[in-house]
Structure 1
Amino acid sequence: MKTTIQHVAKHEGQEVTIGAWLENKRSSGKIAFLQLRDGTGFMQAVVAKNSVDEEVFKLAKTLNQESSIYITGTIVEDKRSPLGFEMQVKHIDLIQEAVDYPITPKEHGTEFLMDHRHLWLRSKRQHAVMKIRSEIIQATYRFFSDHDFMKVDPPILTGASAEDTTELFHVEYFDEEAYLSQSGQLYLEAAAMALGKVFSFGPTFRAEKSKTRRHLIEFWMMEPEMAFVEHEESLQIQEEYVSFLVKSILDNCQQELQVLNRDISKLEKITAPFPKITYKEAIQLLKDKGFTDIEWGDDFGAPHETAIAENYDKPVFITNWPKDIKAFYMQPHPEEPELVLCADLIAPEGYGEIIGGSERIHDYELMKKRYEEHQLSGPAYEWYLELRKYGSVPHSGFGLGLERTVAWIAGVEHVRETIPFPRLLNRLYP
């Protein structure tokens, strides 16, 4: 019977065959211990000399790291194993013998590992991070499906920018200029006017020349957009969504969290509601913490976000930002028009902003005024203005950066480990 490591618990006492790679091995006299991986998990296989043919035991003793095999044996309980089971081996078929595998159990430098990212992904730590990433994606689909959102796919090639065109990748689109998308938001607003509540999940691109541990050139965004939803309701949806993601990881990725040595007591505190402070209060908090050079109208960098987050054991919303440092489409605060109804959600433990969101301007004349202020014109933007002419309604949306969220929940220091093949300022391969 053929199975996978993930499902061995269903086959206790049965003889099964698993296609696997040899992660590592050790031997002690008449017993060889093979550490296997098959993509679904990791387990130990025990080869006893007196239980197998001579050539099988010889093969077990001489197998090289990352050699591929079909291995057959009986699944037995092993309470010492993280998996809870191991295999008592009967037979091994060698598929391909690996020779001089470059990533050995010794320490390797980051640049070496990044140059061999296509192989580094095979390690137990990277497997755990990718499993958590996958679970967050699956949980996202469950959450939005349960809340009656429809999945919509905005274009990656666009003629318009949602924010600053200086950070866009310009491409030739036949005889005109186009950009790689930095956000699907503008198109999702159009979809929300047709379908009510929508979300997208896809790649975004920022030509930002940053080398920090929080930045990637290509990253993935979850972007919901909601008709008839105003700012405060949007904040509630955001905190429910993030709480749902964390709970999904706690429920389904305990083994991966253990591999990463993640302190789950910190994750267990992540439940809605989340604390909220205004931008004005954040400025004062930073001044009180010794950031004497921070002034009204300044944006926050990583040190500022970390200092704010230190006051909380949950993500914290920073609301009501100055209009002049936020995007043109944000709805003004009804009582303080120099502010906009928006919020950044800052993760605890120094991981920075994971969500940015706002209520969008729905009034045609106000949006037209914003167009004039920002010198937006032409067919690339006219369709977006036109949304305000035909049955416009209050609506809100937000974007969650997948890689920063994975880094925070998994407790990984750098976002380069949270995407299979990271694109960094000086790295376009592998």
Structure 2
Amino acid sequence: MKTTISKLNEHVGQTVKIGAWLNNKRSSGKIQFLQLRDGTGFVQGVAVKKEVSEETWETAKGLTQESSVYVTGVVREDDRSQTGVELTVTDVELIHQAVDYPITPKEHGTEFLMDNRHLWLRSKRQHAVMRVRNEIIRATYEFFNDNGFVKIDPPILTGSSAEGTTDLFHTKYFDEDAYLSQSGQLYMEAAAMAFGRVFSFGPTFRAEKSKTRRHLIEFWMIEPEMAFVEHEESLEIQENYVSYIVQSVLNNCKTELQTLDRDVSKLEKIQAPFPRISYDEAIDLLKEKGFDDIEWGEDFGAPHETAIAESFDKPVFITNYPKDIKAFYMKPHPERDEVVLCADLIAPEGYGEIIGGSQRIDDLELMKQRYEEHNLTDEAYKWYLELRQYGSVPHSGFGLGLERTVAWLSGVEHVRETIPFPRLLNRLYP
């Protein structure tokens, strides 16, 4: 019976066949322990010399790291294994013998591993991180589909930007200027006016020359937009969504979190509602923590976000930022024109902002005023202005950065490990 490692526990006592790669191997003379992986998981295969043919023994003995094989054996329960089973090998069929595999069990430098990212992905740790990423994506679709959202795909090539062109990648679109999208938000607002509640999931690009552990040049965003939804309701949807994906990872990635040595007790606390503090309160909190130089009207950097997060054991919303440091489309606070109805969601443990969101301006005249203040050309943004002209309604939206969220839930330090092939300031290979 042919199966996969992830399903071996369904076949205890049965003889099965799997296709696998040799992750590692050790021998005690008359027993060979084969560490096997097949993409769905890892399992130990045990070949006992006196229980297999001489040909099978010699084939197993000659296997090198990352050689590909078909392995036949009997599934046995094993409480010491993460998967709860191991494979008593009866036959090994060599598919391809790998030679001089560059990534060995010894320590390697980060740049070496990044140069070999196409191979590093095979390691148990990277496999676990990508499984967590996959679960977040799966749970995202489930959450929004179950809550009446429609998936809409915004364009990646755009003629304008959501927040200015300074940090965008420019290209030529035949005879026109075009940019790689830094956000699908404006298009998602148009979609929300057609479908009510929508979400997108796709790549975004920022030409920021940043080298921090939180930044990538290319990353993936989940961006919901919601008609007839005001700021407070949007915050509730955000905290329910984040709680949902955290619980999904806890429930469905136990083995992966164990592989990553993740302290799950910290994640188990992540359930809505989340605390909320205003920007004003955040300034006061920072001054109490010794950030004497921070002034009202300044944006927060990584040290500020980390210091604020240390006061909470859940993600915390920082609300009502000054309008001068936020995007042109954010709606002013009804009682304070100098601040806007927005919030950043800051993850615990120093992982920084994972969500930015706001209620959008729905008044045509106010949006025209913002266009003038930000020198937005009428042609490039004409369609966006028309959303306020034909049946405007209160609406809100937010964007969650996938890689930062993966880093937080996995407990890894740098976002370069949270995307299969990271694009960094100094890296376009492989």
Give how far 1:60 is off: 1.1
Q: What are the within-5 Å matches in structure 2 for residues 58-207 of structure 1?
A: 58-207=58-207
C-alpha RMSD of the superposition = 0.5
SS at match of 2:225: strand
Residue identity (%): 77
1:389-408 superposed Cα distances (whole Å, 9 cap, x missing partner): 01000000000000000000
User: Hey, what's the Cα distance between the residues in 1 that align with 2:120 and 2:377?
Assistant: 47
SS at match of 1:238: helix
Q: Contact 2:345/2:354 (CA < 8 Å) preserved in 1?
A: yes
Give how far 1:383 is off: 0.4
Give how far 1:11 is off: 1.0
1:159-215 superposed Cα distances (whole Å, 9 cap, x missing partner): 111113100000100001000000000000000000000000000000000000000
Aligned to 2:222: 222
Give how far 1:147 is off: 0.4
User: Hey, what's the Cα distance between the residues in 2 that align with 1:272 and 1:361?
Assistant: 27
Give how far 1:379 is off: 2.3
Aligned to 1:372: 372
Give how far 1:254 is off: 0.5
SS at match of 2:104: coil
Which stretch has the larger CA shift, 74-83 or 150-159? 74-83
Give, as a single letter, the amino acid of the residue that structure 2 aligns with 1:235.
L
Consecutive unaligned residues of structure 2, counting only runs of 5 or more, are none
Consecutive unaligned residues of structure 1, counting only runs of 5 or more, are none
Give how far 1:9 is off: 1.1
User: Hey, what's the Cα distance between the residues in 2 that align with 1:86 and 1:74?
Assistant: 8
Aligned to 2:353: 353
User: Hey, what's the Cα distance between the residues in 1 that align with 2:171 and 2:130?
Assistant: 31
User: Hey, what's the Cα distance between the residues in 2 that align with 1:379 and 1:336?
Assistant: 31
Q: What are the within-5 Å matches in structure 2 for residues 155-304 of structure 1?
A: 155-304=155-304
SS at match of 1:86: strand
Aligned to 2:421: 421
Q: Contact 2:17/2:71 (CA < 8 Å) preserved in 1?
A: yes
User: Hey, what's the Cα distance between the residues in 2 that align with 1:10 and 1:164?
Assistant: 54
Give, as a single letter, the amino acid of the residue that structure 2 aligns with 1:118.
H
Give how far 1:101 is off: 0.4
User: Hey, what's the Cα distance between the residues in 2 that align with 1:75 and 1:164?
Assistant: 59
SS at match of 1:337: strand
Give, as a single letter, the amino acid of the residue that structure 2 aligns with 1:26.
R
Give, as a single letter, the amino acid of the residue that structure 2 aligns with 1:175.
D
1:348-386 superposed Cα distances (whole Å, 9 cap, x missing partner): 000000000000000100101100111112322010001
User: Hey, what's the Cα distance between the residues in 1 that align with 2:357 and 2:15?
Assistant: 53
Aligned to 2:46: 46
1:99-123 superposed Cα distances (whole Å, 9 cap, x missing partner): 1100000000000000000000000
Give, as a single letter, the amino acid of the residue that structure 1 aligns with 2:337.
P
TM-score normalised according to structure 1 size: 1.00
Aligned to 2:310: 310
1:40-82 superposed Cα distances (whole Å, 9 cap, x missing partner): 0000000011111101111112210000000001111111111
Which stretch has the larger CA shift, 53-62 or 218-227? 53-62
Q: Determine if the alignment matches structure 1 residue 29 to structure 2 residue 29.
A: yes
Q: Contact 2:59/2:93 (CA < 8 Å) preserved in 1?
A: no
SS at match of 2:380: helix
Aligned to 2:18: 18
1:288-335 superposed Cα distances (whole Å, 9 cap, x missing partner): 111111001100000000000000000000000001000000000000
Aligned to 2:3: 3
User: Hey, what's the Cα distance between the residues in 1 that align with 2:246 and 2:386?
Assistant: 39
User: Hey, what's the Cα distance between the residues in 1 that align with 2:257 and 2:350?
Assistant: 18
Which stretch has the larger CA shift, 371-380 or 382-391? 371-380
Give, as a single letter, the amino acid of the residue that structure 1 aligns with 2:316.
V
- The alignment of Structure 1 onto Structure 2 pairs a total of residues equal to 430
User: Hey, what's the Cα distance between the residues in 2 that align with 1:211 and 1:30?
Assistant: 51
Which stretch has the larger CA shift, 284-293 or 198-207? 284-293
Give, as a single letter, the amino acid of the residue that structure 2 aligns with 1:257.
L
SS at match of 1:219: strand
Runs of 4+ in 1 over 6 A off after TM superposition: none
User: Hey, what's the Cα distance between the residues in 2 that align with 1:10 and 1:258?
Assistant: 21
User: Hey, what's the Cα distance between the residues in 2 that align with 1:83 and 1:339?
Assistant: 52
User: Hey, what's the Cα distance between the residues in 2 that align with 1:378 and 1:228?
Assistant: 26
Aligned to 1:398: 398
Give, as a single letter, the amino acid of the residue that structure 2 aligns with 1:215.
H
Q: Contact 2:196/2:226 (CA < 8 Å) preserved in 1?
A: yes
